[in-house]
């Protein structure tokens, strides 16, 4: 399939951790490009050296627009360290690794995960740690030309995750007050936790605090044209609000990735 020119208003990035899983990770860059994606994102690119990832990215002619900082000890089910007191050294080492990859991949955004709230921990103490870590991370990232993103995640997919609501995320960003700290607004998570997605877009996009938007069908996290959210309507709202950032397609295809892209053709029409 020949690459398709992106709609002037909407730029879509394939999530290579969830999409194109019929291919080995490094082969997914070419697969996404073949379906017309100009940008890609992924969760964790660290299994391959950054130079190898960059080689595949350049060969495919796509941009890496986002990935996550290391989540902690993945084998223990950790989902980030930013809000966990006593883990600051590990957190900082992870940020340094992420910024090294961001530089190598010319990627201007890194998602920093908050983590799972420890049982019995006082939320105020976790919040203080979270803000301090994000302030430090944003200062490190600024010199690298990178924006740090934080994402509210629903507690059905990740029970116990520290950050769940859009208003909480925006309060944190305002409190830290770093120009390169923004919110990653995943509409799948937003719909599950609080709904009222159109009103949330109208409320938060004009603030300039949203750095990235992600989409998936609700409730099964499949293609955007499956489920209870009308993405045709949502895309019209994003155009109306003149959203110029990337839209990450962070969903699990119901069957083959390429076979499920009718929604993308409709969005670009």
5 pLDDT band (50/70/90 cuts)? very low
What is the rounded CA–CA span in Å between residue 18 and residue 21?
Answer: 6
Per-residue model confidence as pLDDT tens digits over 75-85: 999 999 999 99
CATH of domain 11-268: 3.20.20.150
Q: Which of 47, 119, 122, 151 is catalytic?
A: 151
Tokens, residue 31 = 């697969």
Per-residue model confidence as pLDDT tens digits over 95-125: 999 999 999 999 999 999 999 999 999 999 9
Average pLDDT for 176-186:
98
Contacts of 124 (CB under 8 A, 6+ apart): none
Per-residue model confidence as pLDDT tens digits over 49-85: 999 999 999 999 999 999 999 999 989 999 999 999 9
Known active-site residue 151 = yes
Tokens, residue 264 = 């993308």
Per-residue model confidence as pLDDT tens digits over 196-213: 999 999 999 999 999 999
* Single pTM value for the model: 0.95
The predicted pLDDT at position 8 comes to 53
Question: Residue 7 pLDDT > 70, yes or no?
Answer: no
Contact 187, 228 (CB under 8 A): no
Average pLDDT for 159-179:
98
The domain ranges of the chain are: 11-268
Per-residue model confidence as pLDDT tens digits over 214-240: 999 999 999 999 999 999 999 999 999
Considering the chain, what percentage of its residues have pLDDT values greater than 90? 96
Contacts of 96 (CB under 8 A, 6+ apart): 140
DSSP-derived pairing of the beta strands 109-111 and 63-68: parallel
Considering the chain, what percentage of its residues have pLDDT values greater than 70? 97
Q: Average pLDDT, whole number, for the chain?
A: 96
Question: Residue 259 pLDDT > 70, yes or no?
Answer: yes
The predicted pLDDT at position 9 comes to 79
269 pLDDT band (50/70/90 cuts)? confident
Question: Residue 6 pLDDT > 70, yes or no?
Answer: no
Average pLDDT for 121-134:
98
Question: Residue 2 pLDDT > 50, yes or no?
Answer: no
Is the omega angle on the peptide bond into residue 219 within 30 degrees of 0, that is, cis?
yes
Q: Which of 47, 168, 194, 250 is catalytic?
A: 250
């Amino acid at each position: 399939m020949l690459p398709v020119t992106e709609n002037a208003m909407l730029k879509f990035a394939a999530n290579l951790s969830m999409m194109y899983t019929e291919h080995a990770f490094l082969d997914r860059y070419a697969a996404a490009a073949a379906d017309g994606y100009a940008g890609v994102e992924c969760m964790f690119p660290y299994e391959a050296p950054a130079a190898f990832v960059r080689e595949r990215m350049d060969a495919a002619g796509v941009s890496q627009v986002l990935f996550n900082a290391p989540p902690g000890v993945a084998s223990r089910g950790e989902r980030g360290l930013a809000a966990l007191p006593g883990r600051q050294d590990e957190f900082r080492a992870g940020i340094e690794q992420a910024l090294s990859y961001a530089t190598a991949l010319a990627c201007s955004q890194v998602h920093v995960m908050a983590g799972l709230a420890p049982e019995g921990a006082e939320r105020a103490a976790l919040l203080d740690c979270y803000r301090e870590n994000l302030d430090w991370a944003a200062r490190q990232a600024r010199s690298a030309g990178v924006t740090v993103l934080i994402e509210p995640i629903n507690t059905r997919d990740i029970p116990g995750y520290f950050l769940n609501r859009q208003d909480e995320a925006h309060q944190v960003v305002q409190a830290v007050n770093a120009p390169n700290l923004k919110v990653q607004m995943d509409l799948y998570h937003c719909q599950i936790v609080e709904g009222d997605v159109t009103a949330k877009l109208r409320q938060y996009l004009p603030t300039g605090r949203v750095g990235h938007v992600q989409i998936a069908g609700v409730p099964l996290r499949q293609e955007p044209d499956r489920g209870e959210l009308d993405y045709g309507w949502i895309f019209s709202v994003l155009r109306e609000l003149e959203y110029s950032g990337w839209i990450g397609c962070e969903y699990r295809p119901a069957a083959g990735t390429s076979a499920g892209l009718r929604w993308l053709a409709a969005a670009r029409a």
